[in-house]
Every structure is written in C-alpha cells, then in structure tokens.
Chain A
Amino acid sequence: MQSMKKHAKIMFCYFRLNLASAMEYRASFFTQAFGMALSNSSFIFFWWIAFRQLGGTIAGYSFYDILFIWSVTSSAFGLSHVLFENVNNLSQLIITGELDTFLLQPCNILVNMLCARTSLSAYGDLAYGFVLMALSHGADASAWGWFLTGTLIGGFLITAISLTAHTLTFYLGNASVLGQMTTEFVINFSIYPDKIYGTALRVLMYTLIPAGFIVHVPLRLAREFSLGTLALLLGAAAVYGVLSGLLFYRGLRKYESGNVIITRL
C-alpha cells in the first residue's frame, strides 16, 4: 500500500512537471491539442457520410455506437499518451543505452521510465473524447459510466500493449517499427466495429493485442450490463498488465548498459 502511494505520488509529480513544461510553450501546446481534436473530427465526418448513405447499422453498430467507441478510443489513447508517452520511446532507450538513467534512480524503473515524457497533442485526444460524449450522449449517466470505465481501462491497456511490443527490443533487437505497427493495430481495431474483421483477427484482438477490451466490451456493457462481462474486462486488463510487466522485467535482465553520458534536466 505504501509502495502504491509512492508510485502514485511520482506519477502525479511527473504529470505536473510535464504539464508545466508544456505550458511554457503555450501556443505550441494549444495548436497541437486543437489540431489533434480537429483531426479526430474528420473520421466522424467519414462515418456521418457512410451512415447517411446507408442508414441503420454497419456490422451491427449504429452511428451512436460509433460515436461511443470513438469517444472511448480517443480519451483512452489521450490518457495513455499524456501520462505514459515515454513507452513509445522504450526501444530507442534500450538501443542507445539511455535506460541507464532510469536504472540508477531510487524509484520503480517502469513507473519512472513510462512517466518521463508527455505528448502535447494527446491532451487534444483526451479532451476530444469528453466533448464527443457530451455532444452525442448528453446526460446519459450509464453511457458516461462505461465511457469513463473504458477510458481508464483502455488507457492502461494501450500502455501495456505498447510496452509489450517495445519490450521485445530486449529479446529481438530494435522493435520500434513493431511498436508503431502495434499502435496502428490497436487504433484500427478500436475505431471500427469488431465484426468487420475475420475470425483470426478477432481472436488476435481479444488475446495478443487486446484492443477489443478497450472499446468493444465497454460498449457491450453499455448496451446490456452483465456481471460476467465486467469481470472478464477487469480480469483481462489485470492479466495482460501483469504479463507485460513481467515480460519487461525479464527482458531487463538481458539489457546491456551503454557508455553514453546523459543529463536529465
């Protein structure tokens, strides 16, 4: 419990410092956040046109379902990248030997490494999900509840999935492209109805790259609550998170330190 409190404190300190640093370049911060929100809106335009042509549902999803999965994906992605942006830098840190800096500090390596950077545009993603939910679902308390659940679990899972992919650098050599590909898969699995994919891909999106648990399961819960489905969601997130952490620490044993001298200011 003491340790959890300490980690939460470190995460909060990093968040505060990263935000303060971002606010030093206010114009850049706001244009990037606004640009990302605008960028996300263009996809909604795509769906609006598609549903305008067809009406009804596409692969079992109505326009409101699409708005829900977009809200959750956007905010979960934003949350993950606001708090843990450095996960996407892990392959580079391993290859260049810059991970040394984190190993030497009196703090949990994983938490310290993950929280060290933030993404300015991710604030736009995070805010966009909330705005889209407010516009599409108004004051529907149940939908908001599952949106917040999806955002928290989704943010955690997106980080864990990226961590797993980049951790493979310990085992296979530079896995940065694999990391980018995995992120691309997570996004594509999350922003379209899961039924458009074949069986093999659907198995993948509920196991190795569990993007299905980020949005599609919360949507199912929002449509019809079931205790079993909720337990499955929480269990899958916990198991995947633990496994990705174990993979990281096991890989860390293979890490070879570099002789690069780094200063963190």
Chain B
Amino acid sequence: MKTIRKYAVIIRVSLSNAVAYRAGVLSGLCFYTVFIYVFICLWRAIYSEGSVRGYSYEQIVWYLIMTELVSFATQYSVYHDMNNDVKSGAIAYLIGRPVHYVFYQLANALGQIVWNLVCFGALAAVLGFSFVGPLPGFRLAALPPLLLSMALGIFINFFFLMMLGLSSFIMEDNFALFLIYQKLVFMLGLFLPVEFLPDTIQKIAKLLPFSYVTWAPAKLFVDFSWPLFWSVVPVQIIWLAATATLTMLCYRGGVKKLQVNGG
C-alpha cells in the first residue's frame, strides 16, 4: 500500500508539472494539426483516384487521427532521459533512491501522458469533426474497450522506449536503434493500416509487437467488433508482458555491469 502511495505521488507531481508547463504542449498541438492536415490532403487525393481496400475516406481520416493521437500522447522523453542518465552517470544517484528506477520512470511519464491525452484528444475530436464529420457506425459502448487497447498500446511503446534507453548500458550510440523502432511503428500501423500491406508482410506484421502500438487501437476505433477486440487485445497483453519483462531483465543486467567513475 505504501509503495502504491509512493508512486501515486510521483504521478501526481508529474501531472502537476505537465499542467504547470502547459505551454510546452502548444507546439506539439501545432505539429499535430499540421500532420493531420497534410495527411487529410494526401488521402483526399488518393481517394479521388480510386477506392482503397477496406476503409472509407472517413474511416482512414479517423484512423490517422487515432494513430497520431497515440503517437503524440506518448511524446515524453523517457528514451532521452534514460540515455542521458546512463551516459552522464546520473543513474548512480537515481538507483540509490527508495524507488525502483524503472517504475519511477513509468510513474513520472504517466502524468505527462494523461495530460497529453486530454489536450491532444480534444484537438483530435475537433479536427476529425471539422474535416470529415462523425465517424460512421461509432458507438459510445465501444469506448471502454477502445481505451483499454489504447492504454495497452501506450504501455507497449513505453517499455520499448525504456529498453532502447537502457541499451546505452552496452552501446556507445543507440540512436539508430531508436530510429529503426520508430520507423517500424510508423510503417506497420502509424501511417498505413496493416490491411494495406501485401499479404505476406501483413502476416508478419500481425506477429510482431510494433503493429499493436497504434494499429490495434485505431482499427478498433474505426471498425469496432467484439471478435476483433478478442483477436487483438489478448495479443497486446502478451506483448506488454513480454516487453515489461525484457525491460526489467535489461535493467538488472545493465546495473550489474554499471561502472561510474568520479563523483
């Protein structure tokens, strides 16, 4: 109980920080609007040439609004923070604190994520309704399972970024790994629904965790059905467990090897 309270305080402080420095989110909102506008223009041009399989124009616009929402909501600096902590040696001070370093980072990021979701979620709704109107066939009853899938996607992404940050224990420069991960998420769901990929790549994509960050919640959002829910959410839970376990193993292995010189 005491442990939970400790991390709840960290989440509260992180949320207060995010609200206090709300101007920081403004530039993100501008970038979000630019991205959505550009993609709306692009997909309008694509749909004017012909139909694209399985998705109506309204669905693809709302799909992109949702994938970008997940992507922007998780725009916190955990990868850079952990990289800096390891490279600067600051981790030596942080691991000595009466909180687990990994859970501290998680709690610290949660406040920012909640604030981002509120801000970007409101903007997403405004943009979607302004550009294409309401999403056809969307029911409010689909909201709780959708939020669950979104949360799972956000956490999978979080643990991946944490693992990438921790890779600086063994790599001099892990920026390329970060870019590779970012682009895998990008190609396998963020900009394109997995259904658009060639059949072989589609099968591989559905076996990998990257699609479950943005594609799974966005697909549930635009085309909700319980069979779809049961086909994606359990997979998200498995990948979440796998990434969380791997993160803890990376952390333990890294800390054992840690050598900090000076003080």
Contact = CB atoms under 8 A, between A and B. Distances in A.
Interface stretch (A71-79, A86-94, A190-198, A223-231): A190-198
Interface string A174-185: 000100110011
Nearest to A48: B198
Given A35-B175, A49-B196, A180 B27 contact: yes
A46 B52 CA distance: 14
Contacts of A25: 173
Contact of A54 (B38, B41, B46, B191): B46
Given A53-B53, A181-B30, A193 B176 contact: no
B44 interface: yes
B176 A34 contact: yes
A50 B46 contact: yes
A49 B46 CA distance: 12
A188 interface: yes
Interface string A32-47: 1011101101100110
Given A35-B175, A38-B183, A184-B31, A57 B49 contact: yes
A54 B30 contact: no
A108 to B, nearest CB: 32
Contacts, number: 81
Given A52-B198, A54-B46, A38 B38 contact: no
Contacts of A28: 172-173, 175
Interface residues of B, number: 32
Nearest to B197: A49
A49 B192 contact: yes
Identify whether the interface residues of A are mostly helix, strand, loop, or mixed: helix
A50 B186 CA distance: 15
Nearest to A192: B42
A56 B50 CA distance: 10
Given A38-B180, A45-B187, A53-B53, A197 B175 contact: no
B126 interface: no
A36 B182 CA distance: 11
A175 B31 CA distance: 15
Contact of B46 (A42, A45, A58, A198): A58
B140 interface: no
B78 to A, nearest CB: 19
A185 B179 contact: no
A57 B42 CA distance: 13
B34 interface: yes
Nearest to B30: A181
Contact of A36 (B26, B34, B179, B192): B179
A142 interface: no
A31 B175 contact: yes
A197 B31 contact: no
A98 B249 CA distance: 45
A121 B179 CA distance: 11
A59 interface: yes
A45 B44 CA distance: 19
Nearest to A52: B198
A66 B173 CA distance: 32
B34 A46 contact: no
A208 interface: no
Given A54-B50, A184-B31, A27 B45 contact: no
Interface of B: 26-27, 30-31, 34, 38, 41-42, 44-46, 49-50, 52-53, 172-176, 178-180, 182-183, 186-187, 191-192, 196-198
7 contacts: A27-B173, A31-B174, A35-B180, A53-B196, A121-B175, A181-B34, A192-B41
- The 5 A-B residue pairs whose C-beta atoms are closest, nearest first, are A35-B176, A35-B179, A42-B183, A31-B176, A59-B45
